[in-house]
Chains A and B, each alone.
Chain A
């Protein structure tokens, strides 16, 4: 059973466009929702994270929107750049220091 669902599986966006990745979860015990960016052959790097008491968090071009009642959250990448081309994973855990459950990932390609 997949605890964290993610869509789309792959995404192609033009440079300067908005990339949107959606995730959903089932376990209401989850209390911490990080997003990770992974380049080929590298480990994942924390991009931005949110807790359920906040509906939106923005850091630079990256914004997380969180809908607690729907158990959904999404990542928006504004002004997408070719350097943003990577695999993005949404994730969830009970706390920031508990084990992280990853979504299946979204491969983002930003074309010039």
Chain B
């Protein structure tokens, strides 16, 4: 199956700093990528949808100025958590799909963010 990677797998940062998380599709071109957030023992909540070369679409309640998403190429999307605070500590997961209308989404392994 298709492979999606995320980097870093874990990151610890101080409150007020910014953190960038990368999502890469390794063996296919991803026209669309999705970013999810998962708090402990909870479900995945969609944060935003990004299409290559265009602005991301954010879900209701997600601050677009705090969670910056860039999808500059067909294999890479980045999520930047700006001015991170302890409440932003979570498991961030991306998924990607190719341009084929029959393709499903493939999920990355996730990034554990801890803000001190």
On whether the beta carbons of A96 and B49 are closer than 8 Å, the reply is no
**On chain A, which size bracket covers the interface?**
20 to 34
Check: B54 CB closer than 8 A to any chain A CB. Answer: no
B19-50 contacts to A, CB under 8 A, are 32, 34, 41-46, 49
**B104 near A105 (CB under 8 angstroms)?**
no
Q: Is the interface of A mostly helix, strand, loop or mixed?
A: loop
Bound Cα distance from A49 to B49, whole angstroms: 21
Residue numbers in A under 8 Å from B44 (CB-CB): 44, 89, 102
The interface bits of chain A over 14-53 (1 if a CB of B lies within 8 angstroms of the residue's CB, else 0) are: 0000000000000000000010100001111110010000
Q: A67 interface residue, CB < 8 Å from B?
A: no
Contact B42 A104 (CB under 8 A): yes
* Contact A101 B93, beta carbon cutoff 8 Å: no
Interface residue total, chain B, C-beta cutoff 8 A: 25
Question: Cβ of A103: which chain B residues have Cβ within 8 Å of it?
Answer: 43
**Majority SS of interface residues in chain B?**
strand
A2's nearest neighbour on chain B, judged by CB, is B43
Residues A99 and B49 in contact, CB atoms below 8 Å apart: yes
Which A44-94 residues sit within 8 Å CB-CB of chain B? 44-46, 49, 89
* Interchain CB contact under 8 A, B46 and A43: no
List residues of chain A with CB under 8 Å of any chain B CB. Answer: 34, 36, 41-46, 49, 89, 95-97, 99-105, 107
Query: Which residue numbers of B lie inside 8 Å of A, CB to CB?
Result: 4, 6, 32, 34, 41-46, 49, 93, 95, 97, 101-110, 112
